[in-house]
Structures are given as structure tokens and as C-alpha cells.
Amino acid sequence: MNGVPRLTRGDILRWLKENDRVRLAQLWEWADAVRHEFVGDEVHLRGLIEFSNYCSRQCAYCGLNARNADVARYRMSADEILACAHQAVGFGYGTVVLQSGEDYGITREWLGDVVRRIKAETPLAVTLSVGERTEGDLAYWKDCGADRYLLRFETSNRALYDRIHPPRAGIYSDRPALLRYLRSIGYEIGSGVMIGIPGQTYEDLADDIELFRELDLDMIGVGPFLPHEKTPLGKEEEQLWAPLGEQVPNSELMTYKVVALTRLVCPYANIPSTTALATVNTKNGRELGLKRGANIVMPNVTPPQYREKYEIYPAKACIRETADMCHQCMKHRIQSIGRQIGKGRGDSPNRTIRRD
Ligand code: SAH
């Protein structure tokens, strides 16, 4: 195969609504072939450290939102984070992802020091995923050595975005603009969406996939929306659903369609088979994601006493495991489908290979 025929918005929409098993089998096969050709058979592992569950935002879907008084909040110490990073090196991972709520108790200087220490003591690439911060903070962390930044835009439908993200006083939230800024100062950038948000239509989802292409993302993570009862979107009776026939289901199948289409539209992107997908199919969701376009997994290295408190949605996969258990489990899953564990940092093929 040479190149991938450009999918139009109409093609994307048709595939999103496709339910014929034989046609879908062709889509999986096509996405898997493109994945093999453009990013190879290695599956890169990113050690996920959920280092704070404090959050100042009120995102209508997320269990960590500031209004949820039932969450026991924690913030890991710098030494605890460093210990996780060293453990990740021991497992052979090339990257750690530092993720948290939007926690302004995490200062620019404090997180900068943590990044500097990880970079000084290990060969790891460092990815940050700490929400919408000022350009000053983001540039400072880049100077401290941070390599990548993950910030999902969640939906490209502005009205739906506004409905599920109450703004901070006086601050306009524009995640695509922030992603462009991050790219301009040298970060590898990652984004993504939730699938099946109440009110999200097929048209919206087709626009999301087109926005992946337009933003020229290095990493794209997608997963089903999972209702959390302690959030506004977790209460069925309060929902504003899209018109009949237009509401995207938050299903496992729809997630595979989006993973596969994302691979076809952004062939060089690093695409994880996500924890949310593993949550809707604990048996083999990870493997099916990897066979339908994905090339990354993010084993959790957060210490067990904290990970159960990082409940962005309920029944999250791997919540009771230790880092070692997650490591062994991921290794077996990858090997069981005939793929290899990635070596090195797994930098973006979008930057390093493609230069057309
Ligand atoms: N505070 C950071 C990290 C958020 S958690 C930030 O805002 O970027 C990472 C991702 O989990 C979110 O971007 C969102 O897409 C996903 N998520 C949160 N709540 C969810 C839910 N109820 N169901 C599915 N995914 C969810």
C-alpha cells in the first residue's frame, strides 16, 4: 500500500453509521494494515502517574470535578513521583505521563522541578496532562525538559463544549488554540475526544475526526463516555440527548470505529488503546483496540493507595492492581496478538518519519 486515500467528511460519516459486520471487518483490516505500514508492529508503553486528583474545574462528566465532595483528595510528593518514574524505567518504559486534575496547588515551579529531576535522573520522555494552564506555565515546563502535552478537546461542537465545561471566571477556554500554542513552542501534542457524550451527534464526531487531521496531532486518545453518578452528565434524567437517530452511542463498537477512522485520517499518529475502552470490555478491549488502529498502551504506575481515588469514571479498569501487575498484564496482552513491546522513547513518527 502506498499512502492512504483521503477520507472525505461524507466517508467518515458513512463509516460511523455503518453496522454491517462484513463491511466493518474490512474497516478493521484496513486500519490495521495502515497502522502496520506507518507506525509498525511495536506497541509503546507509557507509564501513567496520576499524581493529583485535586481539581478546580466543574467538567460535567468527570468524577474529579470540584463539586464532588465525596472524593478524598491527594497530591503525591515529588519523591513519590520520582519513585514511580524509576519504577517505569525498571519496567523498560520510555515515557512517563504525569496526569492530574486542573490543580492550581501545583505551581509552575514545583512541577518544573519534578520534570527537571525526572530528566536528570532518567532517560524518560516526559508527557504532561494537567489541563488548561497559562502559556507562561506551559513554556516554563518546556524549558524544564517536558517533551509532550496531552489535552483532549473533548468535542469540536462549541455549544456542547460550553455546556459540559463551565468556564473559569473571565477566562475563555479554547483547547485547540492551546494545542496550537503547545506545538509552536516545541511540544509533541496529543488530544482526543469522548465518544457518546449526551448531545453529541454523528456530524459532531465526523467534525472531531476532521479536527484531528487539521491540528496535525502527534497523539490521539479516544474512549467511550462513561457516566459517573456524582456528575451532572451521570444523571440520566437531566440529559439533553441529540435528536432521535443522531445521538452517538457510548459503545465499544463506536469506539473501535473512531479508533480505526482516526488511524486512516492520521496514519502517523500515536494512538493508545485506552483504559476507558478496557473498562467497557475488560476481557479483550485493549487487544481489539490494538488490532483496529492503535499502537500505544498506558500502563498505570500510580501507587495503589492513590489510584482508586483517581476516579474520573466508575469501575475504571486496573483500579486495584499494582504497577507490577499492570506491567505483566499489558506485556501478555501485547504478545498474545503477535506484537512487540516498543523500545526507546517512542517519539512521534509524525515528526520524525514524515516530512512531506
Ligand atoms: N485534568 C486533565 C486530565 C483529565 S482526565 C485535563 O483536563 O486534561 C483525562 C481524560 O479523561 C479527559 O480528557 C476525558 O476525556 C476523560 N474522562 C474524564 N471523565 C470521563 C468520563 N466520565 N468518561 C470517559 N472519559 C472521561
First to last CA, the chain: 17
- Average per-residue pLDDT in the chain? 95
In Å, how far are 82, 302, 326 from 305, measured between CA atoms? 16, 8, 15
Determine whether the shortest distance from the Cβ of 311 to ligand 1 is under 6 A. Answer: no
- Say how many C-beta atoms besides its own lie within 10 A of residue 227's C-beta: 17
Q: If pLDDT is split at 50, 70 and 90, which confidence band does 5 have?
A: confident
DSSP code of residue 237: G
Find, among 259, 326, 306, 347, the residue nearest to 101 by Cα. Answer: 306
Q: pLDDT tens-digit profile of 321-334?
A: 899 999 999 999 99
Question: Distance between CA atoms of 351 and 269, rounded to whole angstroms?
Answer: 9
Closest of 123, 44, 73, 32 to residue 299, by C-alpha: 44
Provide the pLDDT for residue 8. Answer: 96
- Give the SS3 label for residue 338: coil
Ligand 1 neighbour 255 (Cβ under 6 A):
no
Q: Mutate which of 106, 189, 312, 319 to test ligand 1's pocket (most atoms within 8 Å of Cβ)?
A: 312
Q: Which atom of ligand 1 is nearest to the CA of 55?
A: 1
Distance 61 CA to ligand 1 centre (A): 8
pLDDT, mean of residues 126-147:
98
Q: Is the CB of residue 272 below 6 angstroms from any atom belonging to ligand 1?
A: no
- What per-residue confidence (pLDDT) applies to 354? 63
CB 154 near ligand 1, within 6 Å: yes
Give residue 100 CA to ligand 1 midpoint distance, Å: 10
pTM across the whole model: 0.97
Residue 207 CA to ligand 1 center (angstroms) comes to: 20
Q: Which atom of ligand 1 is nearest to the CA of 312?
A: 19
DSSP class per residue in 287-330 = HHHHHTT--EE--B-S-HHHHTT--SSTT-TTTT--HHHHHHHH
Q: Around Cβ 75, how many Cβ atoms within 10 Å?
A: 17
Q: SS3 for 150?
A: strand
Is residue 254 a contact partner of residue 209, using CB atoms and an 8 Å limit? no
pLDDT at site 319: 87
In the block, which residue shows the cell 502559556? 135
- Closest ligand 1 atom to residue 233 Cα is 22
| CB 129 less than 6 A from any atom of ligand 1 | yes
Helix locations, the chain, DSSP H: 9-17, 21-39, 78-90, 108-121, 135-143, 158-164, 175-184, 202-215, 252-265, 275-280, 285-291, 304-307, 323-336, 349-352
Mind listing the pLDDT tens digit for each residue in 235-279?
877 778 888 889 999 999 999 999 999 999 999 999 999 999 999
Q: What pairing do the DSSP bridges indicate for beta strands 219-224 and 188-195? A: parallel
Q: Is the pLDDT of residue 182 over 60?
A: yes
CA gap 226, 285 in Å, rounded = 15
| C-alpha–C-alpha distance, residues 35 and 42, integer Å | 10
Ligand 1 centroid from CA 311, angstroms: 10
Cβ(102) – ligand 1 distance below 6 Å: yes
CA distance 154 to 135: 20
> Pocket of ligand 1, candidates 55, 62, 230: which has the most ligand atoms within 8 Å of its Cβ, to mutate?
62
Q: For residue 201, what are the β-bridge partners?
A: 247
1 pLDDT more than 70 = no
d(CA 213, CA 193): 13
Q: Which residues pair with 110 in a beta bridge?
A: none
Query: What are φ and ψ of residue 349, in 5° steps?
Result: -65, -25
**37 Cα: distance to centroid of ligand 1 (angstroms):** 30
pLDDT score for 20:
98
Q: Which atom of ligand 1 is nearest to the CA of 130?
A: 2
Q: What is the number of the ligand 1 atom nearest to the C-alpha of 226?
A: 23
Q: How far apart are CA 63 and CA 69, in angstroms?
A: 10
CB-CB contact of 318 with 69 (8 Å): no
217-231 pLDDT, tens digit each: 999 999 999 999 999
Q: How far is the CA of 179 from the centre of ligand 1 (A)?
A: 16
pLDDT of residue 343 exceeding 60, the answer is yes
